[in-house]
Amino acid sequence: MAIKKFAVAAYQDEEVLFPAVKAARNSGYKLHDVYTPFPVHGLDHALGLKDTDLHVAGFIYGITGTTTALGFISWILTSDWPLNFGGKPHFALAAWIPITFELTVLFSAVGMFLTFCYLNQIMPGVKKHVFHPRQSDDLFVIVMEVTDGTSEIELLDFLKTTGALETKIEVAESEWWYGRWDQKEPYELAG
Amino acid sequence: MHLKYESTVREPLVNGTKNYAQVTEDIISPVERKPGRMWYVGFFFSVALLCFGIFSVTWFVYWGLGTWGINRTVGWAWDITNFVWWVGIGHAGTLISAILLLFRQGWRTGVNRAAEAMTIFAVMCAGMFPIFHMGRVWDGFFVLPYPNTRGPLWPNFNSALLWDVFAISTYFTVSLLFWYSGLVPDFATIRDRAKTKLRRLLYGVASFGWTGSAKNWQRQEALALVLAGLATPLVLSVHTIVSMDFATSVIPGWHTTIFPPYFVAGAIFSGFAMVQTLLVLVRKILHLEDYITIGHIEAMNKVIVLTGSIVGIAYLSELFVAWYSQSYGEQDAFKWRIIGPYWWAYWAMMTCNVISPQFFWVKKLRRNITFTFIMSIVVNIGMWFERFVIIVTSLYRDFRPAAWTYYSPQWPEIGFYLGTFGLFFTCFFLFAKYFPTIAVSEIKFILKTSGENFKNDMTSIEAQSNEEFADEQMAAHHH
């Protein structure tokens, strides 16, 4: 748990968001994150985020599925319990392609989905701070961290100049925790 | 790259004057409202059907498959017909969500969520049939390759029936993950605007704690793209493998190389028909006409006329090959399909699948809601008969005339089939009430290029010279 102070700025349009993100990155203040109601193309590059390697993970899971299927079936049908199907060869690769393909897809999809959840740190029961209730509706939200020595007023003034619809200061947990969404957050109870 | 401009020649995908907040309101508010009377009537009717299905299944599991109409000559009948029919219906959902995503078809965003839900429910229904056709259903897990005390004795990996076990279970799992990874952000939208505690709690759990962080969205798009790339060959493989249940045998009428593409086309054909049946109702009942527009319906009708014509050509090719093969078994199988005791099934199939979709060459009919709805049901009846014709009329007159017979379904089989309708519609009614029936975040993503009010502003862009346009677009993409 790391409770920190944040400055939150909400924008009405992605056209305003892009210059604001650029200004925020160049301002010298610490950018925490940007939240949007839908995937805004180019935002990851504007934020300087690297491309995700999720698809590489998907490839590795996929070939794991391929080798599992081929290894398992060929071991069973050539060594563990060879069966004679009409005198055909025991090593019947062509007949194994369908299951090999299915397992490739299955391993890749399941593995990628779990990796996706792990990387994003999302799971049923996980709770994260929502800085603005409309960040999943119609507003684009930039969150800056108010670090020690940062002037709140100057930071808010700066955010206002970038075209924010509204700005505010919030004290919040910066990481995820286990919790119920219908209950108050623990740090709010304490404070 | 996603252009900020789309030609006004293309129809808007979202009608009316909308902004992001309005999109949320339109799609999420049915989840928050009490459902109307139509919903209750439909839901309880479906539950009643489901209960009758459970009763029928209990009956024939207790008394055995002798209560079905199948016999030693016709060993596969309604069960496998219904299995193939339901699996086929599922295919349209994956086609819309995966293949049209790869083809960058913007119109998929209006219909993909409901179509994917349909896929999942249809595959659930389909799975019931081979499982209960096993007879001793309590031994059903024998199809899985697990270490056992019988050797271990493994299933036959060279058998098309085992390929089916893997294909269907993989298809179900991947469709579910694909669907759910798209639902997570929309559940977060419901959670964040929830007024009641219970709704916050439940959608909070369902949303996995999604917040819409930029990095999370980047990964979400990567996941969707790769899952679409995996689901595309997967969906083709599933009905290919289903067709191999027949094509790898030596039964005249089944033993043919045309089956995989023919089955896949038929699957998409029937699936789109079912999507039409469902969406024509959903858009009306939930007032989503602005999102599921006549343009969407027309696009799907175009797919129906294309795949229907492919299926028609496949039927004719079969007849040609039966004649050209000079194989008596093959020729007789097709002769008796057309003029034998099951002639009515063959001609029902031909009329519903080959002749009736040709009406969709007429634009007026493609854009007529009532006609589309009637056609969607006609096509699904036709596709059911196609499977019945392939299965029963290839079996009932086998190699020895002494074994020739006739098949009629008995009430437990009919009850079982009706029960799967109950299961399907119970699930679909719950989905329509508790889930966002349209992908909210995906609609927002296309809103500024394809929303009607935004498209009206594009005439000024169209008046620009090419250089001006190129400069502006370049500038807009280099933030």
Kindly state the percentage of chain B with pLDDT values over 90. Answer: 73
- Give strand pairing partners of A9: A142, A167
Give the mean model confidence (pLDDT) for residues A8-21.
91
pLDDT category at A69 given cuts 50, 70, 90 is very high
Enumerate the domain spans of chain B.
Answer: 1-14+451-479, 20-147+222-447
Q: What is d(CA B280, CA B298) in angstroms, rounded to the nearest whole number?
A: 12
- Which of A136, A138, A175, A178 best probes binding to B when mutated, by most B CB atoms within 10 angstroms? A136
CA distance A91 to chain B (A): 10
The predicted-structure confidence for B87-138, as pLDDT tens digits, reads as follows 999 998 888 888 888 888 888 888 899 999 999 999 999 999 999 999 899 9
pLDDT category at A118 given cuts 50, 70, 90 is very high
What ipTM is given for this predicted complex? 0.94
Identify the H or E element spanning B274.
helix B259-285
Q: What is d(CA A165, CA A13) in angstroms, rounded to the nearest whole number?
A: 10
Cis peptide before A82 (omega within 30 of 0): no
- Which of B148, B198, B217 best probes binding to A when mutated, by most A CB atoms within 10 angstroms? B217
The predicted-structure confidence for B332-378, as pLDDT tens digits, reads as follows 999 999 999 999 999 999 999 999 999 999 999 999 999 999 999 99
> In terms of residues, how long is chain A?
191
Asked if residue A59 lies in contact with residue A104, where contact means CB atoms within 8 angstroms, the answer is no
Spell out the residues 6+ positions from residue B329 whose beta carbon is closer than 8 angstroms to its own: B252, B399
Kindly state the percentage of chain B with pLDDT values over 70. Answer: 98
Asked if residue B208 lies in contact with residue A124, where contact means CB atoms within 8 angstroms, the answer is yes
Q: Any chain B CB within 8 A of the CB of A18?
A: yes
The predicted-structure confidence for B458-472, as pLDDT tens digits, reads as follows 777 777 788 887 787
Q: Any chain B CB within 8 A of the CB of A19?
A: yes
Q: Any chain B CB within 8 A of the CB of A178?
A: no
Whether the pLDDT of residue B287 is over 60: the answer is: yes
pLDDT category at B64 given cuts 50, 70, 90 is very high
Kindly state the percentage of chain A with pLDDT values over 90. Answer: 65
> pTM for the full model?
0.93
Q: How high does pLDDT run on average in chain A? A: 90
- Give strand pairing partners of A33: A143
**Taking the CB of residue B310, how many other CB atoms lie within 10 A of it?**
16
Whether the pLDDT of residue B216 is over 50: the answer is: yes
The predicted-structure confidence for B411-443, as pLDDT tens digits, reads as follows 999 999 999 999 999 999 999 999 999 999 999
Residues B154-174 as b/e (b if ≥16 CB within 10 A, e otherwise) read beebbbbebbbbbbbbbbbbb
Residues B72-106 as b/e (b if ≥16 CB within 10 A, e otherwise) read ebbebbbbbbbbbbbbbbbbbbbbbbbbbbeeeeb
Alpha-carbon distances, residue B346 vs B317, B384, B385, B413 (angstroms): 15, 11, 7, 21
Helix (H, G, I), strand (E, B) or coil at A95: helix
- Which of B173, B180, B192 best probes binding to A when mutated, by most A CB atoms within 10 angstroms? B192
The tokens describing B364, both together, are: 């007026």
Question: Pairing between strand A166-173 and A30-35?
Answer: unpaired
Secondary structure percentages of chain A, helix, strand, coil, to 5: 45, 15, 35
pLDDT score at B14: 86
Asked if residue B12 lies in contact with residue B452, where contact means CB atoms within 8 angstroms, the answer is yes
Give the mean model confidence (pLDDT) for residues B262-268.
93
CA distance A31 to chain B (A): 12
Give the mean model confidence (pLDDT) for residues A81-88.
86
Whether the pLDDT of residue A135 is over 50: the answer is: yes
Q: What are phi and psi of A190, to 5 degrees?
A: -65, -45
pLDDT category at B450 given cuts 50, 70, 90 is confident
Q: What is d(CA B284, CA B318) in angstroms, rounded to the nearest whole number?
A: 41
Asked if residue A98 lies in contact with residue B241, where contact means CB atoms within 8 angstroms, the answer is yes
Q: What is d(CA B71, CA B57) in angstroms, rounded to the nearest whole number?
A: 19
Full set of structural domains in chain A with CATH = 3-51+123-190 (3.30.70), 63-120 (no CATH)
Whether the pLDDT of residue B457 is over 80: the answer is: no
pLDDT score at A84: 86
pLDDT score at A141: 94
From A85, A98, A130, residue closest to B192, measured CB to CB: A130
Alpha-carbon distances, residue B368 vs B87, B106, B137, B354 (angstroms): 28, 22, 46, 20
